[in-house]
Structure 1
Amino acid sequence: MKYEDYTIDNFLMDDFFIHWVKYPNENNRHFWEKWLGQHPEKREIVMQAVMIISSVHYQSKTVMDDRRYVEAFENILKADNESDLKKTEKKGKRRAFNFPWRGIAAGVMILFCLGISYKLIINPSKVDLSEGSTVTMIKRVNPAGRKSILTLSDGTRIFLNSGSEISYSSDFSDSLRLVSLKGEAFFEVQKEKRPFVVETGQTKIKVLGTTFNVNQKQNGALTVALVTGKVLINDQKGNEMQLEPSEMMVRGEDGAFHKTGFDPLTLTGWKDKILVFRENSFVEVKEKIENWFGVTLLLEGNIDANMTYSGTYKEESLENVLRGMLFTSGLAYEIEDKMVTIKNTK
């Protein structure tokens, strides 16, 4: 059966799906993100399955001795053979109801191996998600070179940049919509009564319905650029600032807030796959290229530390960006897999 034909019961018994929910890694995360993008009509049922699986307490180590493993496998074969025999006996007669023995045996084996509670799977509506039970949290991590778009349960859209991660509850509470961010993201918040709060480090950004960009640097610096609506920003030190459209809050490494304007293309062009350089130093250019394309950039020879570069590229390849950047500089480049070497040929 194809995943697009799966019911919630099928997802609950699929070991690859369960492994993605409980033990996500780069491979299974990439597959399911791509699959959900191609089948948005399945998102609701997938989220239901995710909530149920996340609420089940799996055994930390599951061990099946050889005897029990062989018995389970023999039961599957036996049920399959009995089903085939019944089909032969009924041949020529009125078609009888064929019970899916093999599917059930396989499902039971998977449940046994993974230590899942039978009652929780057969009666998913009875899973206790009240206070004190396991909270279902979703975490998305984008490595360098990858961007993604998320749609939350309230309809809010989040553009997550490369080298960034975000976490949130699959279902928000009745009074608050809270997400935690590391890195950079652009938010299109669905307007409603519940406030939407972005938590980044010790700083909180509170909105009701607006579009804005948040960029938290590894050195502690933070920028919040407001496109539409209003936002209120505060931190644990008591700093507070409200932004109007086209205003940006900048927090330096010292933790102090100040307000300034911003160029929308430079700050938010990334979400539309536009790579922008504005009088960037070579160090800044290097950092942007590495994060944008997921490569490592090495420098050979003497390169002017005061050199700056400006340019705009929309959905361009790494080679075209390097060619444009180095055309008049006298520098050359070599690309080998994920390694880029820039040399001074003069």
Structure 2
Amino acid sequence: MQYIFLISVNTLAYKVLMTKKTYNSIHDFLNDDSFKNWAFNSQLSDVSFWDFWLKNNPLKRDIAYEARDILLGINFKKDTVGEEKLQVEWTKLEAKLKTVQKKEAKKKKGIFQNPSIMKFAVAASILLAISFGVLTYTGLNNALVTHETAFGETLNIKLPDGTEVALNSNSEITYHKNDVRNIWMKGEAFFKVNKLPSKEAKFFVNTKDLTVEVYGTEFNVNTRREKTKVYLDEGNIWLTLNNGNSKKMFPGDYIEYSSDEKKILIDKHIVSKEQHLSWTQGTLLFNNLTLHQALEKISDTYGVNFDFKVPTSKDIRITGAVPTSNLTICLNAIKKSANINIKKENGKLVVYKN
């Protein structure tokens, strides 16, 4: 049997509300009950609305997030050192340095009275300083940069080359500071690669299974469940598989590749992209999935594990969408739609058939 469920938001009421209110200060947000619900993830309609509102009012995000942090009690205490104490410690340090310098000068006085040795020492010092400067500069520019998310968290990133990356929950991208167009990733991410026609600069996304090679395009990469899944939304990309083969993809193409089996498991064309990109809009979409497949998506998003008391309940089919902002809301929607019950037992969520 297939179950269908939809969670909707009454945006009309909020549009009327917002036309009567202005949000220019932290207090404007703090005094709004619907904003408080969003901050505490306590009401689906408020959470969905404020996610939408913040997305469309980017200039007010910082104020809104600061108000949210105040409500949640998130404060960062900054310990400062007084100017007087700083001066005292600096004076002590200078005195120690002078003492050390005097001792070293006595030891080396005999050596540096020789002009030839003195010239050699100066030259060596200059060479050492230059070498150290070059190594330091190279090291700083070759430093690794990492962006990562926790379970239940997403992150939008703009890379130095202009590429936009949406990072799904429990995911990570890493790159060298001086090579921003060569990315290593795990988890799931959507890339909107900025094309640099004047340089013809390629962009690479590397996983344990394959490498995606592009110039400028939009695509989604998912490395969960021991395989890499790639969906191409716009443009063209090349996949270099770790079995030595390569594959060209066109818009709408979807591929699943397993490095363990060293082969492509799924290769098909998809008309509707929502199934693979809905998470970027804060939604998990279930299109005629089994209950087992749907709960796998929940596990990937929130880091929870499920057990089935009755194995046959894994095959119940469901279709619909749930927001990713709240685990409780997701589970309640699934319980009602599939006529099941979910209880927490010994650190796991156990599925019972009603």
Q: Does 1:200 pair with 2:186?
A: no
Deviations 1:292-316 (A, max 9, x none): 2343434445652322222112455
Q: What amino acid does structure 2 have at the position aligned with 1:212?
A: F
Query: Secondary structure at 2:238's aligned position in 1?
Result: strand
Provide the C-alpha distance between the structure 2 equivalents of 1:276 and 1:107, rounded to a whole number of angstroms: 62
Provide the C-alpha distance between the structure 1 equivalents of 2:322 and 2:183, rounded to a whole number of angstroms: 31
Quote the residue 2:233 is aligned against: 227
Deviations 1:98-137 (A, max 9, x none): xx737978999xxxxxxxxxxxxxxxxx574555778300
Identity of aligned residues (%): 22
CA contact 1:146–1:294 (8 Å) conserved in 2: no
Q: Does 1:271 pair with 2:280?
A: yes
Quote the residue 1:261 is aligned against: 269
Describe the shift of the 1:344–1:206 C-alpha distance in structure 2 as closer, same or farther (beyond 3 A): same
Provide the C-alpha distance between the structure 2 equivalents of 1:162 and 1:129, rounded to a whole number of angstroms: 35
Describe the shift of the 1:104–1:184 C-alpha distance in structure 2 as closer, same or farther (beyond 3 A): farther
Deviations 1:2-59 (A, max 9, x none): xxxxxxxxxxxxxxxxxxxxxxxxxxxxxxxxxxx949xxxxxxxxxxxxxxxxxxxx
Q: Which entry has the higher C-alpha Rg, 1 or 2?
A: 2
Q: What amino acid does structure 1 have at the position aligned with 2:290?
A: S
Describe the shift of the 1:165–1:338 C-alpha distance in structure 2 as closer, same or farther (beyond 3 A): farther
CA contact 2:243–2:263 (8 Å) conserved in 1: no
Q: Does 1:237 pair with 2:243?
A: yes
Which structure ranks higher in relative contact order (CA pairs < 8 Å, sequence separation ≥ 6)?
A: 2
Unaligned runs of 5+ in 1: 1-36, 40-75, 82-99, 109-125
CA contact 1:294–1:338 (8 Å) conserved in 2: no
Quote the residue 1:178 is aligned against: 182
Describe the shift of the 1:105–1:146 C-alpha distance in structure 2 as closer, same or farther (beyond 3 A): farther
Quote the residue 1:139 is aligned against: 146
Query: Secondary structure at 1:185's aligned position in 2?
Result: strand
Provide the C-alpha distance between the structure 2 equivalents of 1:336 and 1:233, rounded to a whole number of angstroms: 43
Provide the C-alpha distance between the structure 2 equivalents of 1:107 and 1:299, rounded to a whole number of angstroms: 66
Unaligned runs of 5+ in 2: 1-60, 64-80, 95-132
Describe the shift of the 1:302–1:194 C-alpha distance in structure 2 as closer, same or farther (beyond 3 A): closer
Q: What amino acid does structure 2 have at the position aligned with 1:295?
A: V
Spell out the pairing of 1:149-160 with structure 2 (5 A cutoff): 149-160=156-167
TM-score (norm 2): 0.57
CA contact 1:274–1:313 (8 Å) conserved in 2: yes
Query: Secondary structure at 1:238's aligned position in 2?
Result: coil
Pairwise CA RMSD of aligned residues?
3.6
1:190 to 188, 194, 201: 194
CA contact 1:302–1:344 (8 Å) conserved in 2: no
